Amino acid sequence: MDRPYSLGSTLLGCATSATQIEGSPTKNSWYDWAEESGRLKDASSPKNANQHWQRWREDNRLIQEMGLQVYRMSLEWSRIEPEEGHFCRQAVNHYRAEIEDLQKMGVKVLVTLHHFSNPSWFESRGGFLLKESPAIFLRYVTYVVEAIGDLVSDYVTLNEPNVYVTLSYFLAQWPPAKHNPGQAVRVMRNLVYCHLTAYRRIHRIRAERGFPGRTMVGFAEHLRVFTPAQPKDRPLANGMEYLFQGLTEAMYTGRLTLPLGVEAPLGDGRFYDYIGINYYTRIWVHGVNTAGRPGRPVNDLGWEIYPEGLGILMRHRYKRFTAPIWVTENGVADRDDKYRCRFLYDHLRQIAESGLPVERYYHWSFMDNFEWAEGETAAFGLIGCDFQTQKRTIRRSARFYKEIIQNHGVTQPMIDHYLR
C-alpha cells in the first residue's frame, strides 16, 4: 500500500560525472576508446555528450529550478593535468566558477576526484597497474584540494573502484579491456592505496590551510544484493559478493584482505567520514550469472528493479561501519519515464522508513548523458536530453522529484497524481 512519508533531514539532489556530460575535447581514456570503432553500443562519443563544459550555466539554472539541495559532480583529471606533472589553472578556474554559482543558489557541492576516466598519458603508461600510480594520483589530488579546498569540504576520492576493476580488467568491456585476474588484483590494491592516502591528504590540507567547514571524505561504493536462488547457491552467492564488494572494505579500515594482501599499509584506522552507496540492482544467483530475479520489473538495460535492496545494503553497511549514510547514486534507465516516479517513491521510502542516519540522497542522474559502453542509448536522466539539438526536457518524474524536495517527502495528493 502506498502511503505518505517524510524524509526528515535527508538532503536531496542529483549526481553526474564529468566525462559523461562535459563533451568538448580532452585527452582521456574514454575519448580515445570511443574512437576505436565497434567498442560502444552506438556511434556516440563523450566528445559530444551534453556539452556541459559550455552549457554549465544553463544546466545550473535547471538545477536551481529543480530545487536541488545537494549536487555531486566530478572533475576531469585530464583537463586539470593534461600532461604529466603540468597542471592547468584555467581548468580549475572553470570548475571554481561552476561550483561558486551552485553555492550562490544554496546548493551544497560534493566533488568526485576520479570517476572512471584517466588522462591519456596516464592510461598509456599503464594507469593503475603502475606501482607509482598512488603517488601520481596523490599529486593530482593535492593540486586540486589546494586549489578548491576553500570552496569544497566534501569529497568522493574514487567512484566505484569495484566496477572499474571488474569491467576494465576482468570482463574487458571498458578500457583497457583486459581479461586478467592478476592485473585486476593489482589495480584494486593500488586503488585502495589511492583512497587511503588521498583520505589523509585531503584532511591534512584542509586542516593546515584552515579551510572552512567540516571535511567529509569517502568513496562511492557500487553495492548489489546477491540473493541465492536456492540454498545450494549460497556459497557461490557469498563468493561473488566477496569478490565484487568485499575487497573494497579495505578502503574503510585500511587493512587489505586476500587476494589483495593481508597488511595495513597506512596502519589500521578509519578512512571514511560517511558511507557512500551507489545502488541500482541485485543479482539472482543460480550458477554464475549477472542478472536479477526472473519475472521482476526491469529497467531499459534489463536490470531488476529491487527497492528493498537499498534498505538491506544500508543496514548491512551501517552495522559494519557506523557512519552517516550518503546514497551517492541511485537511478533507473527509463527513456519513456515509465518507472521513474515509482522507482523514486519506492527507493526513497526505504530511506524514510529505515531509521538510519541517511544524510544525503543523490539521484543518478540529473540528465540523460553518455552512458559508457552503452553510449547514448541508456536514459538515466530526470531531465531528458536530445544530443543532436542539445535540448533539455523536464520529465514528469523530475516534477515529482521537485515536489518531493519541496515537501521533504511524499504527500497523499502526490501519490494520487504521480503513482496512479
How far is C-alpha 210 from the chain's CA centre?
A: 28
Count of residues that interact with ligand BGC, criterion CB under 6 A:
11
Q: Does the footprint of ligand BGC cover residue 22 (CB under 6 A)?
A: no
| Shortest CB 287 distance to ligand BGC, Å | 24
Which of 99, 163, 332, 382 lies at the binding interface for ligand BGC (CB under 6 A)?
Answer: 163
Give yes or no for residue 371 binding ligand BGC (CB under 6 A).
Answer: yes
* Residues in CB range of 214: below 8 A, 6 or more apart: 153
Exactly one of 133, 159, 168, 245 binds ligand BGC (CB under 6 A); that residue is 159
Check binding of 30 to ligand BGC (CB under 6 A): no
Q: Report if residue 329 touches ligand BGC, rule: CB under 6 A.
A: yes
State which H helix or E strand residue 79 sits in.
Answer: helix 77-80
Nearer to ligand BGC, 159 or 215 (CB): 159
Alpha helices (H) in 246-368, listed in sequence order? 250-253, 308-321, 340-352
Cα–Cα dist 247/250, whole Å? 6
Per CB under 6 A, the segment of 1-9, 98-106, 159-167, 195-203 that binds ligand BGC is 159-167
CB of 369 vs ligand BGC, minimal distance in Å: 7
Q: Which of 5, 174, 279, 380 binds ligand BGC (CB under 6 A)?
A: 380
Query: Quick check: 349 binds ligand BGC (CB under 6 A)?
Result: no
Sign of CA dihedral 245, 249, 251, 252: positive
Positive or negative, the CA dihedral 161, 164, 168, 173 is positive
Helix/strand/coil for 326: strand
The minimum distance between CB 19 and ligand BGC, in angstroms, equals: 8
Residues 255, 265: Cα–Cα separation, whole Å? 7
Q: Minimum CB separation from ligand BGC for residue 245, in Å?
A: 12
**What is the full DSSP assignment across 172-188?**
--STT----HHHHHHHH
Cis peptide before 181 (omega within 30 of 0): no
Among 364, 366, 401, 418, binds ligand BGC (CB under 6 A): 364
Rule CB under 6 A: which residues touch ligand BGC? 17, 20, 159-160, 163, 222, 278, 329, 364, 371, 380
